[in-house]
């Protein structure tokens, strides 16, 4: 990196949950000074890290040398940071952005790992970078370039330094490439892209579709027999719908079949929280009961709100494509307990002709 790279490189990571804490590993390994700030909901996570315990969300120790900041110390965490990473759950992104607005405005770039959608006051469904820009603008601050961070990155593996392939995307593709290079390590590899919108639509939608993949796994567990063919068909249908939705928001379809789309869907369908939620439904739990149990265990299932917001996005931007989104319709019906979840997936992924 040129210019700012001549100064001591400091990154502020906002959000001490799984991914925020995990990213301390590649940043520290690539020579960055890391400040990890915890929200008002993260006190217990910071306490565990200060006690030298494994991080409660990743099961991996925090990267040595990471400096910890409590919620009241946001300004101190941001002061002088060249990069800022927003790594809070999607529901808290706008509030954290407002509180951090002036610090964000002084950064070279803002990296966004949160996955979701954000409706505006008129009910329009925005991708998260647009929501963050608007939240910061409320404080009279112009947001620096946003770098959307996606790809098949499980937080526990990132934290442990295992091989990980990420995607860094920004409207300024060269900036995305520069930032990706500055964080690269032998284990953490990141490709760059100019398709911010494509990465940002794939991020929440792979959570939605991972619920469906989990349903097939849950039925396998319940029956003691594999439902792998159905899961594979659901995966293929999900990728087709990711391509279609990427076009709706002005992204590139190759993003949907690359790391940010198919790649992230694959890993989330193996072990992510959204897959686990779908597995519980496939085993026979009601959708609402399964969600309540996971919330009680502090396990966020972001695919649930994302499914509803995605439906509203389609309604407003491209209602004519609904016939080409049978899997999204099926997931919505599964979440509403409308019918047998496997039968809904069969009809969506294996349509009769």
Catalytic residue positions, numbered: 206
Cα–Cα dist 61/49, whole Å: 7
Cα–Cα dist 201/126, whole Å: 10
- CA separation (Å) from 302 to 36, 95, 299, 310? 23, 17, 9, 12
In the numeric block, the tokens 């996955």 are attached to: 115
In the numeric block, the tokens 């390590």 are attached to: 185
> 71 and 95 in contact (C-beta within 8 Å)?
no
- Helices (H), ranges, 224-272: 228-248, 253-256, 264-271
What is residue 24's DSSP assignment?
H
Query: Phi and psi (nearest 5°) for 33?
Result: -85, 130
Query: Phi and psi (nearest 5°) for 121?
Result: -65, -25
Beta-bridge mates of residue 69: 37
* Dihedral (Cα; 218, 222, 223, 226), 10-degree rounding: 30
Q: How far apart are the first and last CA of the chain?
A: 55
- Six-digit token string for 268: 């989330």
Cα–Cα dist 112/287, whole Å: 29
> Residues of 176-199 as b/e, b for ≥16 C-beta within 10 angstroms?
bbbbbebbbbeebbbbbbbbbbbb
Cα–Cα dist 41/43, whole Å: 6
């Amino acid at each position: 990196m040129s210019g700012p790279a001549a100064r001591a490189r400091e990154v502020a990571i906002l959000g001490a949950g799984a991914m925020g804490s995990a990213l301390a590993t590649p940043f520290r390994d690539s020579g960055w000074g890391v400040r990890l700030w915890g929200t008002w909901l993260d006190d217990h996570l910071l306490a565990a890290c200060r006690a030298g315990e494994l991080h409660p969300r990743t099961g991996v120790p925090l990267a040595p040398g990471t400096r910890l900041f409590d919620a009241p110390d946001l300004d101190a965490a941001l002061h002088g940071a060249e990069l800022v990473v927003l790594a809070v759950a999607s529901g808290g992104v706008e509030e954290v952005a407002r509180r951090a607005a002036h610090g964000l405005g002084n950064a070279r770039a803002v990296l966004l790992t949160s996955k979701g959608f954000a409706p505006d006051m008129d009910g329009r469904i925005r991708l998260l970078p647009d929501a963050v820009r608007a939240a910061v603008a409320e404080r009279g601050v112009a947001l620096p370039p946003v770098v959307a961070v996606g790809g098949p990155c499980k937080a526990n593996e990132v934290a442990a330094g295992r091989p990980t392939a990420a995607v860094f995307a920004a409207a300024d593709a060269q900036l995305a490439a520069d930032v990706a290079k500055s964080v690269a390590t032998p284990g953490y590899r990141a490709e760059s892209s100019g398709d911010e919108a494509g990465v940002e639509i794939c991020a929440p939608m792979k959570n939605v579709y991972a619920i469906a993949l989990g349903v097939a796994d849950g039925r396998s567990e319940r029956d003691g027999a594999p439902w792998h063919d159905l899961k594979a068909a659901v995966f293929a249908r999900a990728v087709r719908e990711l391509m279609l939705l990427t076009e709706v928001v002005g992204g590139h379809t190759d993003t949907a079949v690359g790391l940010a789309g198919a790649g992230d869907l694959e890993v989330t369908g193996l072990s992510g929280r959204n897959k686990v939620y779908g597995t519980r439904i496939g085993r026979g739990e009601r959708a609402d009961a399964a969600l309540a149990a996971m919330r009680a265990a502090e396990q966020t299932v972001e695919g649930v709100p994302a499914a509803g917001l995605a439906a509203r996005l389609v309604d407003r931007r491209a209602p004519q494509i609904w016939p080409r989104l049978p899997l999204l319709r099926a997931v919505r019906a599964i979440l509403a307990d409308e019918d047998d979840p496997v039968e809904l997936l069969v009809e969506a992924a294996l349509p009769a002709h």
